Amino acid sequence: MRRQRNVKIVATLGPASNDYDTIRSLFEAGADVFRMNMSHGTHDEQRARHAIVRQVEKDLDRPIAILADLQGPKLRCGVFTAGATEIEEGHEFRFDLDDAPGESHRVCLPHPEIFAALETGSTLLVNDGKLRLRVKDCSAEHANCIVEVGGTISDRKGVNVPDVVLPLAALSEKDKADLEFACQLGVDWLALSFVQRAEDVEEARALAGGRASVLSKIEKPAAVNAFREILKASDGIMVARGDLGVELPVYAVPPIQKRLINDCRRAGKPVIVATQMLESMIESPMPTRAEVSDVANAIYDGADAVMLSAESAAGDYPIEAVSTMNAVAIEVEHDDTYREQADAQRVASRSGVNDAIVAAAREIAETTDIKAICCFTQSGTTALLTSRERPRVPIIALTPLKGTARRLCLSWGTNCFVTPGEVERFKAAVVSAARAARTAGFAEEGDQIVVTAGVPFNVPGTTNILRVAPCDERLIFSTDTE
């Protein structure tokens, strides 16, 4: 079941994708990673979905990554006496800590952390930015605001504070419980919401304790401003354009998306572009032309993965949505412009032997008749560096660790295989690579592959050897492993 494209597809599971047949069909249609949204569903429901994915993985003998997306702290206003009220442009409106039901002039905002951070002139956004208020004056217990964009405000609507860094941890108590549950379950990636600073990521990494990789969701202006530090602390990034487009002008999001993707590629860390990619397919079997262009642009930008949310979790056409995204990716990657941009965005990095080996592997593959680059990897670093190079030939990542193979499913171009036991000698590595290339249909008798590995074996970060090897049967079936 070889993919005909390099970019990966993340599909969110939910009520519309809750059974074995649907989840298997989603994988066969093109999903490489399954996302469990911890904002919805019970632990028992998530445990059942996790078990189904692992059964599909076993039945198809292909590593599949599972990503648990943590909810993050939710800032919401209180309730109103009438359930809702209208606020008008130019009028005053007050947020405070009084838990009495709200009226036309005020409502409770039960988050003292917000009042501690607010300043005169700060912006408050309500209901995904549909309402905008500017702080006139404030204290530790209230904020008097002028309504700049009015409308209906109703019970427990979300509140965003885009232009201040809030003294809130990215992990609520619910998130900590969800994180521990997900790690015990055996997920491969944790997506961290409400990231504002690198310290938020470090806290999640400490709690995960190496049981899962940590991916930071960039959805706040503070995260954009501190992105370099956040990227350094993270294993991967998600450009969460929904909340980002609420807290920033929508026209600022596309250039931010491009900049973040470029930074991730330089760092050799996977990046997902998410939110509203094929949203019309929640209810329609066909996407809009603008949505198709949006998916295509994310792929042209160099994203490692594109993501479906409600389209696959709660929509009427989950399999069609994955198939559409798969078809768009194949079409884009066959365009000469895509390859030109991938090559132009490559930044030479020669900071060590690892970088030199993977760069040489790509150059050899692109100047001779090589069918694939085969990377033996323990931690996944070699495959990530090879992915960063964006070679024109397939990347085959071979590892004895199932967890490493699963995590690499998120990275551009990687075709992941679990080797039956640790490899001790380089000749055995070459044999395993040739066998994998032949079995998976990447190479045939007489073809050549590039094999990279580290000696001594099974030591992370020691890539130091490269060989061009034939894929002939004599090599594959040889018992000589000297």
Give the active site residues: 35, 76, 217, 275
- Position of tokens 């008798």? 445
Cβ atoms of 173 and 162 within 8 Å: the answer is no
Name the 3-class secondary structure at 406.
Answer: helix
Token pair for residue 451? 């094999």
Residue 79 to residues 83, 141, 358, Cα–Cα distance (Å): 6, 18, 58
* Spatial separation of the C-alpha atoms in residues 160 and 157, rounded to whole Å: 10
* Spatial separation of the C-alpha atoms in residues 333 and 218, rounded to whole Å: 26
Name the 3-class secondary structure at 208.
Answer: helix
Strands 236-240 and 213-218, bridge-based pairing: parallel
- Spatial CB neighbours of 63, under 8 Å, sequence gap ≥ 6: 57, 402, 405, 406, 408, 409, 416, 417, 418
* Spatial separation of the C-alpha atoms in residues 482 and 480, rounded to whole Å: 6
What 8-state DSSP symbol labels residue 284?
A: -
Rg (CA), the chain: 24
SS3 content of the chain, % helix, strand, coil (to 5): 40, 25, 35
Cβ atoms of 49 and 18 within 8 Å: the answer is yes
Cβ atoms of 120 and 110 within 8 Å: the answer is no
Cβ atoms of 102 and 79 within 8 Å: the answer is yes
* Spatial separation of the C-alpha atoms in residues 100 and 122, rounded to whole Å: 25
Nearest residue to 221 via CA among 250, 259, 248, 260 = 248
Phi, psi of 448 (to 5 degrees): -120, 150
Token pair for residue 387? 């992915």
Cβ atoms of 338 and 362 within 8 Å: the answer is no
